[in-house]
Amino acid sequence: MSNTPRRDREESSRSALAEVHERLAADRADTLARMAALCRDFDGIVAANALVAVDDEHDPEGGTTAFGRAHVTSLLTQAREHLDDLDHALERIEDGEYGRCESCGTTIPPERLAVRPAATTCVTCAQPGPRHDRR
């Protein structure tokens, strides 16, 4: 009896994981570049305001300056969280846990992983509300 179908499935699985790893690594590089650009933007806002005595409360441009700082800070926070998610997904690949729901242990549908490659939960567990452990 031949193990060819099993071997083919294993090779296909390894190939699919390699593609996911490559996609996550590319997303990680893009996220790092975006974070660097956001840091430059933030530094530019701070440097521009360092030359002027800015009173956000009374200066007509102060609200815009404060908004700009807050906006860039928020985008930077989101990028850092995304980077953490990507790093966690890469670790899960290395540990052989990628594609399994961290909440219930079932397989995460490939369609969900295609849209959200860093997903750690299945569709059911990702929904708001009470969770049911299906283990």
pLDDT digits (tens, 9 = 90+) for 49-68: 777 655 555 555 556 778 88
Q: What is the pLDDT of residues 73-91, one digit of tens each?
A: 999 999 999 999 999 999 9
Mean pLDDT, range 118-132, rounded to an integer: 85
Q: Is 59 exposed, middle or buried (0-12, 13-18, 19+ CB in 10 A)?
A: middle
Decide if 82 contacts 31 (C-beta within 8 A). Answer: yes
- Per the DSSP assignment, residues forming a β-bridge with 107 are 100
**What pLDDT is stored for residue 62 in this prediction?**
55
Burial 24-51 (b: 16+ CB within 10 A, else e): beebbeebeebbeebeebbeebeeebee
Q: What is the mean pLDDT of the chain?
A: 85
* Helix orientation angle between 62-95 and 4-50, rounded to the nearest 10 degrees: 160
Residues 67, 19: Cα–Cα separation, whole Å: 40
Residues 90, 56: Cα–Cα separation, whole Å: 43
Residues 24, 14: Cα–Cα separation, whole Å: 15
Say yes or no to pLDDT of 18 above 70.
Answer: yes
